[in-house]
Structure 1
Amino acid sequence: MTGLREQLRLYLVTDPILCTPFGLVETVQQAVAGGVTMVQLRTKDASTPARIDMALALKQALYGTGVQLIVNDDLEAAIAANADGAHIGQGDMPPVQARALLGSGKILGLSCETEQTVKAADPNSVDYLGLGPVFATTTKTDHERPIGFDGLARLVALTSLPTVAIGGLRPAHQQDVLASGADGQAVVSAICGQTDPKAAAQLFNQTEAPS
């Protein structure tokens, strides 16, 4: 199995509205066929039972692909569905508490938007950091001021943990993301909102990492 840094290369974050044309499962299947390396189930308005059902359906769809499934903000759903891990924000439960609930064998991601939160992230509890927003994005309206690629590079330099950039990113940004030192980028509408999710994902994989 590939390491976590490689798995973060193209990280799909689902949006239930944008996934409507094909449905959640088919959108994810197409995206993975196009090169997505990790999938996060994010659906803010769903109940925990509904998230569990969606996570179980995605787990079945991802079986055999080697692509890990992360559940956003809902530890109960992540545990009940036996997802590969969970992702939390600064306003959620403390990472040490989330780690205790998840156990040592699962992946735990943490969103960080400032130098202070990156420095405070404990590698004993957290496996990777989501850094941003690089640009403003309509799929998450409560974010901090965009940090740009210079800000992204500064945050990456403050941690030894694997990192994934997020916030308004498109295929044209892949080279800048990798040049910043981040291991990959998380995207929502650049894949979920496209008429061909597989082709949209493939566009991200046409850029090689800087030597």
Structure 2
Amino acid sequence: MKDFRLYAITGEEFHPGRELVEVMEQAILGGVDIIQLRDKKSSKKNVLKKAQQLRELTSKHNVTFIVNDHLDVAMAVGADGIHVGQDDLPLAETRKVVGPDMIIGISTHHIDEAKAAEAGGADYIGVGPIFPTKSKEDVVDPVTTSYIAQIEEDISIPYVAIGGIKRHNLKQVMEAGAKRVCMITEIVAAEDVKARCEEIIGLMQEYEEARG
């Protein structure tokens, strides 16, 4: 998969009155490298419609498109990848369904899960939640930046830090070693989404340079 820096997940409840595609296009124009559609409440038909719209958008801008959980939707729209959780279809079975070429990402909350994901052929892992978050229901306790340090030492596949990451705590995440971050509300709830993404990327570059 193409390397990436800023990963955005949809969160329509955080931008009422604004269309999903409009918000995500502004994120892309601001520098987001990956868009993930996460929708656990809509009907399958509506999830498919949103996925079709986002697939068209991401193809236009040459940005990676990931679908959360819905393997059938991901395959139907030709998404670049699928993201699964620890309680979803196991990694090996997911690979059998989607084939050898689709990106598979998996959420991890413990180093043993990360090692299993790497050994099982995941293309990338989510590492978190780093901080408390209200963007996701039934979330596990924060793993803190110490988990990033463990990942840096023991895992070689790409990973993205996620969970409660905002501009005010981004420096902590970067100082722990993270090179890629995922955000939801910090991006989609912004009044000016494009400017917010540009600001975040600028901060990431600054902290990377300081880290050396």
TM-score, normalization by structure 1: 0.92
User: Contact 1:42–1:71 (CA<8 Å) still a contact in 2?
Assistant: yes
Equivalent of 1:116 in 108, 112, 119: 112
CA distance in structure 2 between the partners assigned to 1:21 and 1:156 by the alignment: 40
Instruction: Give structure 2 stretches of 5+ with no counterpart.
Output: none
The amino acid of 2:105's aligned partner reads G
Cα distance in 2 between the residues matched to 1:157 and 1:45: 37
The counterpart of 1:145, out of the listed 138, 141, 148, is 141
2:32, 2:197 within 8 Å by CA — same for their partners in 1? yes
Which shifted more, 148-157 or 99-108? 148-157
- From 189, 194, 201, give the equivalent of 1:193: 189
Among 6, 19, 25, the residue aligned to 1:10: 6
Q: Is the 8 A contact 1:36 1:201 kept in 2?
A: yes
Deviation per residue, 1:140-180 (Å, 9 max, x gap): 13122112212222233221110000011112434433332
Per mean C-alpha deviation after superposition, the further-off stretch among 18-27 and 147-156 is 147-156
What is the count of residue pairs matched by the alignment?
A: 207
1:56 lines up with 2:56 in the alignment = no
Contact 2:81 2:102 in 1 (8 A): yes
- Confirm whether residue 41 of structure 1 aligns to residue 65 of structure 2: no
State the identity as a percent.
Answer: 33
Displaced runs of 4 or more, over 6 A: none
User: 2:71 matched to which residue of 1?
Assistant: 75
Partners in 1 of 2:118 and 2:142 — Cα distance?
Answer: 24
Of 198, 207, 210, the residue aligned with 1:202 is: 198
Query: Structure 1: which 5+ runs fail to align?
Result: none
What is the root-mean-square deviation in Å for CA atoms of aligned residues?
1.6
Partner amino acid, structure 1, of 2:51: A
Distance across 2 between alignment mates of 1:181 and 1:123: 22
